[in-house]
Amino acid sequence: MALSDLLYPDNPKRRQELIRLHQELLDCMSTNFHATNELARVLNEHLGCTITHIRMRESSTVKENCDIMIQAMSEIQHQVQKIDSDMKEKLEPVLYQKLYDIKEPELEKIAIAHKVFSIVLGEATSTAGMVAIKLLSSNLITLTVSKLVSLLAQIGASVLGGISITILGLGIEMILHAILGAVERNQLLAAVRSYEKHLAEFKAASEKYRHAIREVTSLVRQRVQ
């Protein structure tokens, strides 16, 4: 038994907790990668975007994978801003304002947006206007993406950022060494609490992000059916 375990008998339990939290973080990140690709597919197919699909890199660190997500989400933000710019450029001011007027009927907004995409793309799918309005009128960009990007940056910059995402296939001691690095074993409690804080915020923001994406992708599925 390690000396730190004799001095701090709760350490073994905290080690297991740290490993569990790390797995939860990876599971959450993996789900976010999938959801982001789903949104990218819809934008590419219906709005003429060219967003590259992403995948988790098992040989990379948490920070490097956070950076991949941040880049993809920043591209989505850019594309939605471009959609708004296209609407503003092609529409008369009165029609453009209607897109953001909560009192205006949804079907009228969709018809306006579809006409713009027919001009911009030459030919637009039947769901293009619906997807565009959903993206512009929801808080997907203004709140959920911005919040998640901020949290990803925080996680990447924290002690968690330098951890490889593949450490769970290693032995317990190697996992702890990778997680703690230069952190003393008697600081396990602080490490657990830090992980819990980051993970709780990340999971909450991730759920809102994925819910917003589901609202968009479900529209497409309903249209196809």
Query: Can you give the pLDDT at residue 101?
Result: 86
Centroid of chain to Cα 129: 24
Please name the residues in contact with 78: beta carbons below 8 A apart, sequence gap of 6 or more.
none
Neighbours of 10 (CB within 10 A): 12
Instruction: Name the average pLDDT for the chain.
Output: 78
Portion of the chain with pLDDT greater than 70, in percent:
74
**Nearest of 122, 133, 145, 117 to residue 47 by alpha carbon:** 117
User: So what's the pLDDT on residue 225?
Assistant: 54
pLDDT over 90, % of the chain: 14
Q: What is the DSSP string of 118-132?
A: HHHHSS--TTHHHHH
pLDDT in tens, 86-111: 888 888 899 888 888 888 888 888 88
pTM assigned to the model = 0.80
- Sequence-distant (6+) residues with CB within 8 A of 139 are 212
In the chain, the amino acid numbered 60 is S
Cβ burial 114-147 (10 Å sphere, 16+ → b, else e): bebbeebeeebbebbbbbbbbbbebebbeebbeb
